[in-house]
Structure 1
Amino acid sequence: MPPPKHRSDLTPAKIGAQPHQASAQNTGDIGALIGKLDAAKAVAAPKRRAPGTASSATELRVGILLWPQFPLLSLAGLCDGLRHAADVGDQSRQIRCSWTILGVPGQSVQASCGVPVAVQDSLSSESDYDYIAVIGGLLPAIPTVHPRYTAFLREAASQGKPLIGICTGTFALAHAGLMAGRRACVHPYHVEDWKAAFPALDYATDCHYVFDGDRISCAGGISIVELTAELVRLHCGPDRAAKVIHQMTVNPAARSTHVARRHALGYGTADHDKLRQAIVLMEKNIGTPLEIAVIARLVDSSSRQLERVFLAETRTTPSEYYRNARLKYARWMLTSTELPIITIAYECGFSDASHFIRHFQQLYGMPPGRMRKALQAGTVEA
């Protein structure tokens, strides 16, 4: 059976969606915002549970399985995201969300950095979890897990329990035969490993996560924050998800991360595979723009073919779309940071300030300095 063609994907949204503007300009404003989010009424109603299984206030419960040599960042991102959503302020009570490390009682699992994490509860088919999350480890360590882990996952799958593969956790699910007919989110670093180990299984890359029925997969790294926020949104409401994002990713020093760019650019995507892949490459390379010919090669296209796709889908050329995305990000930076104009120009891939100002004025009708004052004064829409 020939291997399926892989696909790249992003969280669904429309091209041209308005960027998310910074909701706070200083730590005091952020504290006030977090207070409002804590006080907001959740849209999602708490789940009904059997008496005695869990508090009715617990809307999201996650059981976590750790594979040997797992990445500590994936565990921390998942647990801290749930922690911020679970309680008010910066408290850590497991009220609206809960998380538990499952495994063989009395044992601990060592992270790839050498830190051991103790098992908190045993593997039981009677456990009332909304999701079972598997955080994989270094690939050579995947087959060394205790057999009870695999048996537990197969039993959970047979009961229709949603399973999450995080980082190489998706490899662990696939090794257990639990990814057949499902599409997996695979980190670009591990694409060749995936193709060699599972040539018949579909995969996506250049995305944060993939939902495919009762299988969810995440590339790992900072992507786990995005996935955790989405799970929180689905179960606890958008106020909780916003709190996760603000508490974990709103940081001026991290303004150039892909998470920040995706918020600023409005999560643009499209149905056309090559267009979607090209947009991801543009978003990831705002500060050091790629040549369009390079982007075309990376998405297995020609410059001419890519231009036809962009004109048909966005009514702009790839170069125009790329430049406008960089200018849109610059507009967001004008209000979300206090950086000088020349620094913003360099952050957005312009070689000099005059070149940046000229293009900015052509797109928005005023130079960036005047735009910053207008946005701060509220005389133009954010």
Structure 2
Amino acid sequence: MEPHRVLVVGYDDAELLDIACVTTTLDSVRQIDPAASYDLTLATPGGRAITCSSGLVLNAQATLERVKGPIGTLVVSGGLGHRSAAGDERLVGHVRRLARESERVASLCTGASVLAAAGLLDGRRATTHWHFADQMAREYPQVEVDSRPIWVQDGNVYTAAGVTSALDLSLSFIEADFGPDMARWVSRAMVTYLHRPGNQAQMSMFTAAPAADHGLVRKVADHIAEGLDGDLSTEALARFARVSPRHLTRLFRADLRQTPGRYVREARLTAAAQLLSTTDLPVARVASRCGFASPEALRQAFARQYGLAPSQYRTVSAAT
């Protein structure tokens, strides 16, 4: 079997973990089965060594301007240098050229801005690191930016949220190229979560919600945390806070960038995930304790937000 050719595009101030996560994960295939492998190449403008945002220096294996197709997978790394890279007409032009000669095109983290500058995301749904999503949406209004998933596929174009989500995207490539068994073996070798689906939320289920700065919002947030199984409608929360529902919503949007209703849903989902991971409570009990009307309501909310059913998450948590 001919190796699947992968070209990774790097530039100064690229994120080293974006590059290493993809190349190390894909190279694990060769270590498991020498007959199945990827041909990995790092290409940079002028073939120069690049200084990553961490200060470490990487030597290039190819000159971007001289690379020719066909290419199996073209990957553009992200990093703090993405704005300069997206503004480099020569780099963007060669990415556009190579995309036409590639079976798959992918970006990691802020590398999506390079694909957007090349016009490769026009009319497509795409993701990037949540911290840069609003900026990308403003700069490239022709792109449907979705900051929620860890990676998105739209046709043959893939965008990932960056950092560790590059590993999940790489596992999906391995599954597509060499089958699910190989992806599972690589996942075990990497000692990682078993292949998170692309529509799982970027923000970890166990990452605490941002602390509220406004005293009243903080008071309401504490009230929510202490009574997840109670009436937490916006009207009920407004009565507790002694303000109008409209004013409470305005305060939540200003302080936490979300409505009270969304904050409640995320608090309930996070609590449910913790109970599923750390207890043997039946799903019905978990649903009740976290304020869901039924186990089915929990299942639908869980699948919509994280891409997994509650029972699947419990199984995966126990295996990792």
Report the alpha carbon displacement of residue 88 of structure 1 after superposing the two structures with TM: 2.3
Q: Deviations over 1:216-251 (max 9, x none)?
A: 11111111111111111110111221122222244x
Aligned with 2:110 (options 160, 168, 172): 168
CA change 1:245–1:133 in 2 (3 A) is same
Which residue in 2 is equivalent to 1:363? none
Q: Which has the higher contact order (CA 8 A, sep 6+)?
A: 1
1:185-229 Cα shifts (integer Å, max 9, x gaps)? 121110232133113321111221110112111111111111111
Whole-angstrom distance in 2 between the partners of 1:154 and 1:280: 29
Q: Distance in 2 between matches of 1:200 and 1:126?
A: 29
Separation in 2 of the partners of 1:288 and 1:169? Answer: 27
Q: 1:182 deviation in Å?
A: 1.1
- Point out where structure 2 has 5 or more consecutive residues left out of the alignment: 211-220, 225-231, 235-247, 290-317
SS in 2 for 1:64: strand
Secondary structure (helix, strand or coil) at the match of 2:32 reads coil
Map of 1:43 onto structure 2: none
Between Structure 1 and Structure 2, the one with more helix by share is: 2
Question: Is 1:73 equivalent to 2:6 in the alignment?
Answer: no
1:244-259 to 2 correspondence within 5 Å?
Answer: 244-250=186-192
Q: Does 1:241 align with 2:183?
A: yes
Partner of 1:85: 29
- Give the Å deviation of 1:83: 1.4
Say if 1:65 and 1:135, in contact at 8 Å, map to a contact too: yes
Q: In the TM superposition, what whole-angstrom CA distance separates every residue of 1:53-107 from its partner, at most 9, and x where no partner exists? A: xxx242x321011022100010110011011122228xxx795222111235652
Inter-partner Cα distance in structure 2 for 1:193 and 1:78: 25
Distance 1:73 1:283, change over 3 A: closer
Partner of 2:84: 141
Counterpart-to-counterpart distance in 2, 1:112 and 1:282: 23
CA distance in 2, matches of 1:169, 1:160: 17
Give the conservation status (yes or no) of the 8 Å contact 2:113–2:136: yes
Pair 1:231 & 2:173 matched: yes
Q: Which residue of 1 aligns with 2:275?
A: 327
Aligned to 2:42, which of 101, 107, 111?
101
Indicate how the Cα distance of structure 1 residues 249 and 173 shifts in structure 2: closer, same or farther if over 3 A, else same. Answer: same
1:115 counterpart (56, 60, 85): 56
Q: Which amino acid aligns with 1:66?
A: G
TM-score, normalising length: structure 1: 0.54
**2-side partners of 1:239 and 1:118: how far apart?**
33
Report Cα offsets for 1:134-175 as digits up to 9, x if no partner: 11332442246471x323222233346421111111101111
Task: Name the CA distance, whole Å, in 2 between partners of 1:109 and 1:178.
Answer: 24
What SS does the corresponding residue of 1:151 show, helix, strand or coil? Answer: helix
What TM-score, normalized by structure 2, do the two folds share? 0.64
CA contact (8 A) 1:105 1:120 kept: no
Contact 2:69–2:101 (Cα < 8 Å) also in 1:
no
Match of 2:136 among 171, 194, 199: 194
Structure 1 portions without partners, runs of 5+: 1-55, 251-258, 270-278, 311-316, 335-355, 360-380
Correspondence list, 1:1-382, <5 A: 56-58=1-3, 60-88=4-32, 95-104=36-45, 106-123=47-64, 124=66, 126-138=68-80, 139-143=82-86, 145=88, 147=90, 149-159=91-101, 161-250=103-192, 280=201, 284-285=205-206, 291=224, 300-303=258-261, 322-331=270-279
CA distance in 2, matches of 1:320, 1:137: 33
One-letter amino acid of the structure 2 residue matched with residue 330 of structure 1: T
SS at match of 1:63: strand
Aligned 8 A contact 2:206 2:274 in 1: no
Instruction: Determine the structure 2 residue equivalent to 1:373.
Output: none
CA distance in 2, matches of 1:113, 1:121: 22
Aligned to 1:16: none
Deviations 1:290-340 (A, max 9, x none): 74779996685553xx69xx9xxxxxx8876554432221159x9xxxxxx
Asked whether the 8 Å contact 2:30–2:38 carries over to 1, the reply is yes
Residue 108 of structure 1: CA displacement? 1.2
Question: What is the alpha-carbon distance in structure 1 between the residues aligned to residue 10 and residue 22 of structure 2?
Answer: 12
